[in-house]
Structure 1
Amino acid sequence: MVFLTVARYAKSLQLLKAKRPLLFERENFKALPVAYQKFYKEWKSTEPSPVYYKPEEGRYRYNPDSGNADRIINIPIPLTWAPEMDNMLMGGEAIIKGFTQKKEKRRKVPKWWVPPLHKTVVYCEILNQYMPVIATKRLIELVHYHQGFDNYILKSPACDLRSLLAVKIKRKILISLAKKDLWPDNAEKRDELLTKYKEYIVPLEQAEWYGLTLKEAMVKNHLLKYVEPVPLKHQYRKELIEYLKERQENPQLDESSEDTSWLKQLKSKVTFSK
């Protein structure tokens, strides 16, 4: 197993402590492949599709009360993401923090609105696998709307999938499509699915970077650049074998041809005492 140096690895982990606007300007982040940079910005920085409100189109709207044109300002509802949701399929939903007022003259009190969760099973056609998951009702509706779990996963950007489980499933699907190793026992079904989802097939190098966390991407990038040093004993052993073979094939080898060999140089430096 290849081990990274502690100093080199610790320096890379500084990315995890950087704020998101500054993260993309770090040299360590720019050293990652372009495919991963594109995925991570889409996953963590792109504005997701609205779920709990409908944005108005245009720049202005007519106000019948004042008779003026009011400017349209679409302010998304802030969502709170719990770490446990990374193991679920949320369908774009999350926790909403707000205030509620039970009676008219009572003060408002804070409240958390948590989307209802359901235990269900989804079927992935490409992977030919049934997966028991915890999902929201909206996720089930989106699967029906896209006519299948595979279409929903492949068509949805990473910012809408959001959970780590969802992007990991999409990564596995993209790798399977890139390798074309789906349905190994049924060539006819494999060709049918490759034709059906041909617009989502990407190069394998790009698919392998999709769905990785920042820490996983940094470790993968280091391992790709890391070259394990070859011990000198292997090099010397190889040179010795070649030297012995050459001497065996040509016993009358001129001694002057050995001046550049490491054996001759070593012999000239070593003196043996009688």
Structure 2
Amino acid sequence: MTSVVIPKYITGFVNPRVLRRWRVGIRARLPDHYRQRMYKMEEDNQEGRATPVHYENESGIWKPGRYKDTLVPVQNRPIPVIYPAEADLGLWGGEGIVKGFVKRRETAPRAPKMWMPRLRKAVLYSEILDKHMSITVTESALLLIEDAYGLDNYILQTPEVDFHSNLALKLKAKMLETLMDKSLYPNDQAKREKIYNKYKRYVTYSREEIEWLGLSEQEAIAKQEAIEKKQAKSRPLKEIFAEQHLKDLTEKEKELTLPQKDNTPVESQSEPAPSTFSRLTSWGKKR
């Protein structure tokens, strides 16, 4: 059972400020393919374009009303769903936390209630990665994987807006990278060609897009900052002065630790002072 934390985002509400942030600051300097993909994903989440999970779309324009001989318009409005941070660590199949009200009796006042997804651990196998993975899933995710005939097809063919999981994006990036490099099954050439021909239709991304595909927003910002810092030609003066000062201190420390050499000529060296014993033994000698 997951704990309720500050939600990552809530679907069903259109907030222009959330979309505007991709046009200013460091987010506007991210690669175009990454920025456009994240912008479209957030826009689809807010406008409810993802595949319905907690409700069913009704067809038509009108439907029978509550009372006899009445019609009401069909309104396919998405139910607001909360996706906590724990959703990034598993495959929930689009499920999330739903807040609402429930009436225990017809005459009783309604009471608030939260519907939580039922989570469980499952071991899933990937043909492309040739690995068994223990992942937190829901029953909906297992049914979607079964309908797609395997984890690989589910990850590669499902629209990204339906994942609501960073783990799914990282798996997708890893699978596409493995297919592009043809690094699957290095010891079995026949099986490598068979699996590659089975999933090669999904390799429609460039290498740069695959590198940025599995990155979250914070990871992408950190990567962009590192790239800009590496490409910057000028350095702050405080860094240059600090580096020079550290170099000077290191040289002085080496000079103090090394033994000093005596460069005095042999001819100019003065004779050592006579000891007390030599003065006593030389007393009375004829000069």
Q: Distance in 1 between the 2:41 and 2:185 partners?
A: 29
User: What amino acid does structure 2 have at the position aligned with 1:78?
Assistant: P
Structure 1 residues 103 and 85, CA, compared in 2 at 3 Å: closer, same or farther? same
Query: Identical aligned pairs, as a percentage?
Result: 33
Q: What SS is found at the alignment partner of 2:86?
A: helix
TM-score for the superposition, normalised by structure 1: 0.71
1:71 Cα offset (Å): 3.4
Which structure's CA Rg is the greater one?
A: 2
Q: What SS is found at the alignment partner of 1:205?
A: helix
Q: Is the 8 A contact 2:118 2:139 kept in 1?
A: yes
After TM superposition, the structure 1 = structure 2 runs for residues 109-188 of structure 1, keeping only pairs within 5 Å, are 109-188=111-190
TM-score for the superposition, normalised by structure 2: 0.68
1:184-204 deviation digits (Å, cap 9, x = unpaired)? 222222211221111211221
2:212 to 194, 206, 209: 209
1:228 Cα offset (Å): 7.2
Q: Is the 8 A contact 1:43 1:162 kept in 2?
A: no
Count matched residues. Answer: 213
Higher RCO (CA 8 Å, separation ≥ 6 residues)? 1
Q: Distance in 2 between the 1:42 and 1:162 partners?
A: 13
2:27 — aligned with what?
29
2:6 — aligned with what?
none
Q: What SS is found at the alignment partner of 1:168?
A: helix
Q: Does 1:227 align with 2:231?
A: yes
1:94-135 deviation digits (Å, cap 9, x = unpaired)? 011111111222111111111111111010110000000111
2:247 — aligned with what?
none
Q: Distance in 2 between the 1:78 and 1:62 partners?
A: 23
Q: Is the 8 A contact 1:178 1:207 kept in 2?
A: no
Q: Distance in 2 between the 1:42 and 1:183 partners?
A: 35
Unaligned runs of 5+ in 2: 1-15, 236-287
1:207-258 deviation digits (Å, cap 9, x = unpaired)? 1110211121122223334237699xxxxxxxxxxxxxxxxxxxxxxxxxxx
Q: Distance in 1 between the 2:33 and 2:193 partners?
A: 27
Structure 1 residues 99 and 67, CA, compared in 2 at 3 Å: closer, same or farther? closer
Structure 1 residues 42 and 195, CA, compared in 2 at 3 Å: closer, same or farther? farther
Q: Distance in 2 between the 1:107 and 1:203 partners?
A: 57
Q: What SS is found at the alignment partner of 1:175?
A: helix
